[in-house]
Structure 1
């Protein structure tokens, strides 16, 4: 399947998406709505960061007549089940989660509640309704401090460095058991440092641009020696929608030994990353060049739980969909800066 043409989602599908007030969920929902699909968005509107930003995202989505918003927590199984049963989706895209690597050191229970209990509720409902395709958002953090690069889906992921990573790995393992037992086609995709307009305020690009505009220092951890495989949000959305049309079935197995398709059930994990890591100092210099001003840098040691690098192998993604994330960092950073400058008054 190395030359498989890019898959496309069928027209007029019904997508149930958790986390539509969040960064990634918002973008996925908006693209699907623009393409003519019907979307129910489920979000708890938690105050982990600015509710103004979340409300602005939802306000943009409700402009579409084929969008419906449901506000409730993932842990509320009755509310979740009621929303899914009423909608009868073709695809569930589970993007809601307690995000943030560092916050998991302060409030691990939030990750237990959302990423484990909430994800189990999703699995139960997908089992009960026999949903056509269940899609789950995981993270590159499950690779921990892997010494071998690039990170491949078939690598061991048994040494997470944070409870956030452990919660996401646990979700993958739970989902595999459900795929085996109940035959629900399930794809888990691992994100690699997603960035772009409407992003989260706790992420590096958002924090750096805000600090530079305010004349404040930016905090650079690991003395700037870390590197990340940055993924622009539009590339990520393309990949999620492409994968939604590819059932994790033996008939869709990629050639060679790169496929993570389980022999025990319709379950697959897929990296969504371009395989082009960028050094943190190069990232800062890109921001400086676009903003036309130097950053005031505060160099700090590596924080507990941080990994030295992330580096995706995109081989399986390309084999399945025919493409990989390719938007250049400079282009993506410029799009974020333009968005932030024009929307700052609405979201802070």
Structure 2
């Protein structure tokens, strides 16, 4: 049995079925990590995307019961060069292909992924279809029409499709120090875990949460997670964050949460040609001059000036981090009248699932920001405008 990958520009790549057989369509993107495929496939940010793994050997460590970043695989499809025939890892419970079959994920193997990645790098991310079994016998013109009829990622509002529908709490590990309202736009499980390990009760709220829902948990800080889709469509999330900023509540955002902060501050967002996806992206922390190797998964970016602060209704804003590969904005900071950071975000993933741990300090920075704000609030006399504004 053969399989066929069809790009919207008409180029095709033959291969063999891998995982479930049938049809799938989505946006073709490539991920450069040599490890961490389980975390990649279960990352909700990959919803409606067909992921091309650039590393040739995938599936070597099988599939375990510990490393999922959500309750299911979210990728629309998978493209690999040379899948492992037999997994070898003490934590493995089943093979990679067995898990793909169990979750009905259509994939293709034996593809020249190097040539495919170069094509996407030069032409940009585009719609794609994978076809195997009987459907692959259809005329190429029909398959190409099927691919071109698939929705584009630009203009797609997807956060609500991957978000929890019911609020839940991840309790603090050890003594509770703080409370955070985390808006789930496609949150990875390691993110609330990283917060909880720092003594934080994490109240995870749906993407549709209102400011009243946020305030109901009496948060010391608010967090917006990663997630899929076009941030330009996220008007509800933008407006919610503006309400948070108006109340002076400390804020930390990751990935989609960085783009939402950008929009809340009045910046635009734009689609990258082929995005950043992988666990080896170099980012410069402009305040320290240090370079971090970071994990990325984003196809959009914030359009903010790199070399000047911007005045907004919420304070001065500066770009805190940039990608050294292409100068894409990778972080924002909002400064109060005293010059202190009151809200910040990054475009990458400090929870490192999978990936390096260079940016784990950002969770500690969020803790420090909340503790500092809590201390300042305790010093405000009862009945003052500042003490009542948070609960308004």
Q: Same fold by TM-score, threshold 0.5 exceeded?
A: no
Q: Select the structure of larger CA radius of gyration.
A: 2
TM-score, structure 2 normalization: 0.28
| Structure with higher RCO (Cα < 8 A, 6+ apart) | 1
**Structure richer in helix, relative to its length:** 1
* Greater strand content: 2
